[in-house]
Amino acid sequence: MDKRMSNYRADFPILDQQVNDEQLVYLDNAATTQKPRVVIDAITKYYYTDNANVHRGVHTLAERATEQFEGVRDKVARFINAPTREEIIYTKGTTEALNWVAAGYGKKYVKAGDEIVISCAEHHSNLVPWQQLAKRNGAILRYLDLTADGFIDLDKAQDVINDKTAIVAVNHASNVLGVVNPISKLAKMAHQHGAIMVVDGAQSTPHMPIDVQALDADFYAFSGHKLLAPTGIGILWGKSELLAAMSPLEFGGEMIDWVELQETTFKKAPLKFEGGTQNIAGVVGLGAAIDYLTRIGMNNIKGYEQELVDYVLPKLQQIEGLTIYGPPDAKKHTGVISFNLKGLHPHDVATALDMEGVAVRAGHHCAQPLMRYLNIAATARASFYFYNTKEDAQRLVDAIIATKEFFQNGTV
């Protein structure tokens, strides 16, 4: 393993185990990442010493819990270069965040005849909410074309995004095709026509530096569990003026300013969106994860993952009968590599790889329209993170070759 990164793998206790009598190679990071000890310890410490509800007490435990909870908001703002901490909203994850934008903003401001522009390469979380919004409000859902390599086609996008466009919503990085889309250029197109830019950052935020101001997004969403934090915690960032115009989706404790018998007024963002008891331990874990990633450096993570892709993609491309989706150029391909082995169902491939100790995902990856666009039912998907090694990558290659030989010859 690269000496710059070699010390970090030991921070992940789950990786030190055998699966089916083979050393585990975990390559399902696009679905969820493993947690370092510092994250696990931070959550444990919170429950051991600081467990209390936030914002609602003047006793010591409540004040300590609140200090941690709000401190993480500052860390997130720095991590994605948000202009202010008040633009950081805690959610359950990317799915909830995108649904909130569609229902809390879109329901109010998208009118009949308006157009919502997305791509067929979206995760269902960034497709179904807009589909449902279009149906409710009488809007029109339009799709951006893809290039042969799987990127959003910017030339054709100029014909799709027009004065009728109200919202453009796309992924920053694909969970299937291994591409990073040109968000700032799409945002410029959207803004020229008075539309807002919504970005699904679930697959980009863990793997590269994020600057929401440079991207010129209007809303940006990501999940904690894909960047070393616990499940059930995520972030919605939005520009202050848009959050002010957006309606809350949940009503209850903490998000209110004043309640009368017939009327209620709400607090300003972010609290107006955070009704009820939040996932405080999840927030603490997210803060620990961001601290950990910041110490490593997101540019270092991006660079090292590129080295892994540079190593493994050419080797995979040499396997006869293996189809790889997305850019053939390793320099344009992220650590998400989707593939099919000729004559085999992806589930059979994933099961066979698991017998070799290699964990990959198989299925439509919550991207059924993209599967139909590619004229396939499903793929197997290996996805790398910075705690993976070139040895892990080689194990993947060897396991695919062994799987191919087993099904062709009946022997490994």
Kindly state the DSSP code that residue 248 receives in the 8-state scheme. Answer: P
- One domain for residues 271 and 323: no
**155 or 410, which is more confident?**
155
Task: Please give the pLDDT value at position 126.
Answer: 98
Where is the domain boundary, 244, 267, 294?
Answer: 294
Q: Does a structural domain hold residue 112?
A: yes
**H helix or E strand, kind and range, residue 243:** helix 240-245
- One domain for residues 352 and 330: yes
pLDDT tens by residue, 327-381: 999 999 999 999 999 999 999 999 999 999 999 999 999 999 999 999 999 999 9
Residue the block writes with tokens 């320099």: 331
The C-alpha atoms of residue 296 and residue 304 are separated, in whole angstroms, by 11
- One domain for residues 135 and 245: yes
Which residue range is the domain that position 385 belongs to?
9-30+297-403
Other C-beta atoms closer than 10 Å to the C-beta of 242 total: 18
Where is the domain boundary, 278, 294, 310?
Answer: 294
- One domain for residues 315 and 334: yes
Task: Please give the pLDDT value at position 238.
Answer: 98
Task: Please give the pLDDT value at position 408.
Answer: 84
Closest by Cα among 277, 287, 190, 184 to 229: 287
pLDDT tens by residue, 280-291: 999 999 999 999
Handedness of CA 347, 353, 357, 361 (dihedral sign): negative
- SS3 at position 276: coil
Task: Please give the pLDDT value at position 267.
Answer: 85
pTM of the model: 0.96
pLDDT of 252 > 70? The answer is yes
- One domain for residues 247 and 259: yes
**92 or 264, which is more confident?**
92
pLDDT tens by residue, 112-142: 999 999 999 999 999 999 999 999 999 999 9
- Residue 227 phi/psi, 5° resolution? -135, 45
**25 or 258, which is more confident?**
25
Report how many domains make up the chain: 2
- What are the residue numbers of the active site? 366
- One domain for residues 237 and 357: no
The CATH number for 364's domain is 3.90.1150.10
Average pLDDT over the chain, rounded to an integer: 96
What confidence tier does 3 reach under pLDDT thresholds 50, 70, 90?
A: low
Where is the domain boundary, 277, 294, 311?
Answer: 294
